[in-house]
Amino acid sequence: MRIAVLIIHGFVGTLADNEFLTNYLTYDKKFDVFARTLPGHHNDKNYQKVEYHEWIEFIDKEIQEILDHGYKKIYVIGHSMGGILAGYAASHHREVKKVVFLNAAFTYLNLKQNKIDILGHRDYKDYIEVFDRVLHTSIPFFLEFVKLVKENHDKLKDITCEALILQSDVDQVVPIENGIEINNKISSKKKYLTYLESERHNIFTGNEENVARKEEIASYIRTFLRGGLKWKRTWKEKI
Q: Any idea where the domains of the chain sit in the sequence?
A: 3-234
pLDDT at position 131, please?
A: 60
- Computed over every residue of the chain, the mean pLDDT equals 88
| 17/133: higher pLDDT | 17
DSSP 131-161: HHHHHTS-HHHHHHHHHHHHHHGGGGGG--S
What topology does CATH give the domain 3-234?
Answer: Rossmann fold (3.40.50)
How confident is the model at residue 110, as a pLDDT? 40
Average pLDDT, integer, range 62-82: 97
pLDDT in tens, 19-47: 999 999 999 999 999 999 999 887 655 66
**pLDDT at residue number 129:** 64
The vertex-99 CA angle with 23 and 19, nearest 5°, equals 20
Q: 181-217, pLDDT tens digit by residue?
A: 999 999 999 999 999 999 989 999 876 778 999 999 9
In which band, very low, low, confident or very high, does the pLDDT at 12 lie, cut at 50, 70 and 90?
Answer: confident
Q: Of 191, 159, 197, which is closest to residue 176 (Cα–Cα)?
A: 197
Complete DSSP assignment for 55-68: HHHHHHHHHHHHHH
pTM: 0.90
